[in-house]
Amino acid sequence: MLDNATVERLISGYNSPVPRYTSYPTALEFVPLDDAALLDSYRKCEPDRPVSVYIHLPFCENLCLYCGCNVLLSRKIEVLDEYIPLLLAEIKAKTDMMEFKPRVSQLHFGGGTPNFLRLSDWNRLFAGLHQYFAFTPDAELSVELDPAVLSDGYLTHLKQLGFNRVSYGVQDVTPKVLEAVNRPQDVQRIRDIVAESRALGFSSVNLDLIYGLPHQTNESYKANLDFIAELKPERIALFSYAHVPWLKHHQRRMDEKALTEPSEKLKIYLSARQAFAALGYEQIGMDHFGLPGDTLTEAFKNKTLHRNFMGYTTQKTLDMLAFGTSAIGFVSGVYMQNHLKLSGYRSAIETGKNWFEKGFVMSAEDRLRHEVITQLMANFRVRFSDVEQQFGIRFADHFAAELERLKEFAADGHGILDEAGFTTSETGSFIIRHIAAVFDAYRKGSGQKAFSKAI
């Protein structure tokens, strides 16, 4: 456990905006992307390499004030009568551009609230998915669900469709906090849903928590830790609340004075980490925890964890095909983001052109830096020989200036730098975003307001 002086030192030195590096370059660097990039990147896909598929289901009935996702608010279920056919048309059009039927080893549905869909919508969607994709026998099928609006029989249906992993947004169990962020939910209902998920045979249940919300204190947060001890999910995601009201205007409706102070926020994180360790969880990267035997836990232990727009993943450089409004795909070194607004998305599908809001074609240098940043963010270390072999460079020559910065982090006690590489210390793991940022060639001080603070 860090002492108070160390906590204060980390906050005064490093509580500044910095990317979370779910991509490199970050989405801030994305620029208008023409359709040729789509065809080019898809043609480079190799038939024998499975792909990951992400499908964005953007609708929510209610807006949580902390939300940082791309959401379309709607109480009208009929919006799905347009959206599901559009999704299927997009999947057909894009998979038609490939010369083979892609094999999928990971399929993830995020949102929004995926359980906004009716059961009949899932049937329609899965009929299309099986038509356009082949699934590997051990494919991971996962979905994010909002327990507050999960109807009876829903989980049974998802299990029958083949889902094996579920993730529930809990965020906090304290009524005062939930009220302050406009997220009504019944905690007993979550207990029942987790029990039902287990009874149905889902192999992994993940619960999401957030710290840094209004009225949370180290003391009040114990209710969440007790809740985790009671339910013992296979995985926990413990996200730091990103307060960016200049980007997400609805966050202005939150009482800023009630937000948790940075030092209290770090204490909550440290207490949670300690409580999860006592329960047998192992830390995975910055903000995930898993029970021994979980695939992410094992990947972190073996230093083979990777990172993409979905967060941490066990599978390296899987091309990610992404569908739905605002979804970001990554294929053969090209990031491609779909239109954010339904009107732009609809128009792209109807005309078969102007597919993207924006994107980015990576250079060889971007790929090299992406690898170093990913190693640091996912495994808290970078081994120079691995990078040298993969990219044919001499690390000490190519990154001479960056190594000087790493020396400073090492001198401050945030890691060990030797001839083999750089490995973070305990304090270094708290400021890993800052350490990774050393290798970000685009981070020159401008546009920093686009990112949340590190702590």
Binding residues for ligand SF4, rule: CB under 6 A, are 60, 63-64, 67, 69, 71, 111-113, 146, 169
Cβ closest to ligand SF4, residue 95 vs residue 185: 185
Q: Residue 235 Cβ, how far from ligand SF4 at the closest point, in Å?
A: 18
Cα–Cα distance measured from residue 417 to residue 411, given in angstroms and rounded to the nearest whole number: 9
Q: Residue 240 Cβ, how far from ligand SF4 at the closest point, in Å?
A: 15
Cβ closest to ligand SF4, residue 241 vs residue 395: 241
Q: Decide if 435 contacts 415 (C-beta within 8 A).
A: yes
**Selection from 81, 74, 140 nearest residue 111 by Cα:** 74
For CA atoms 377, 381, 387, 388, the dihedral sign is positive
Q: Residue 415 Cβ, how far from ligand SF4 at the closest point, in Å?
A: 34
Cα–Cα distance measured from residue 211 to residue 204, given in angstroms and rounded to the nearest whole number: 23
Q: Residue 288 Cβ, how far from ligand SF4 at the closest point, in Å?
A: 18
List, in order, residues 6 or more apart from 333 with CB less than 8 Å away.
41, 361, 362, 366, 367
**What are the start-end ranges of the H helices in 54-118?**
79-96
Q: Residue 406 Cβ, how far from ligand SF4 at the closest point, in Å?
A: 36
Q: Which amino acid is at 131?
A: Q
Q: Decide if 52 contacts 314 (C-beta within 8 A).
A: no
List, in order, residues 6 or more apart from 400 with CB less than 8 Å away.
none
Cβ closest to ligand SF4, residue 38 vs residue 117: 117
Cα–Cα distance measured from residue 374 to residue 415, given in angstroms and rounded to the nearest whole number: 17
List, in order, residues 6 or more apart from 317 with CB less than 8 Å away.
306
Q: Residue 70 Cβ, how far from ligand SF4 at the closest point, in Å?
A: 8
Q: Residue 154 Cβ, how far from ligand SF4 at the closest point, in Å?
A: 15
Cα–Cα distance measured from residue 420 to residue 230, given in angstroms and rounded to the nearest whole number: 43
Cβ closest to ligand SF4, residue 146 vs residue 234: 146
**Judging by beta carbons within 10 Å of its beta carbon (0-12, 13-18, 19+), is residue 56 exposed, middle or buried?**
buried
Q: Residue 159 Cβ, how far from ligand SF4 at the closest point, in Å?
A: 22
Cβ closest to ligand SF4, residue 30 vs residue 241: 241
**Selection from 319, 325, 322, 332 nearest residue 349 by Cα:** 325
Q: Residue 69 Cβ, how far from ligand SF4 at the closest point, in Å?
A: 4
Q: Decide if 340 contacts 356 (C-beta within 8 A).
A: no
Q: Residue 108 Cβ, how far from ligand SF4 at the closest point, in Å?
A: 14
Cβ closest to ligand SF4, residue 147 vs residue 415: 147
Cβ closest to ligand SF4, residue 113 vs residue 452: 113
**What are the start-end ranges of the H helices in 279-419?**
295-301, 342-351, 364-379, 384-391, 395-398, 400-411
**Judging by beta carbons within 10 Å of its beta carbon (0-12, 13-18, 19+), is residue 450 exposed, middle or buried?**
middle
Cβ closest to ligand SF4, residue 208 vs residue 386: 208
Cβ closest to ligand SF4, residue 19 vs residue 169: 169
Cβ closest to ligand SF4, residue 253 vs residue 353: 253
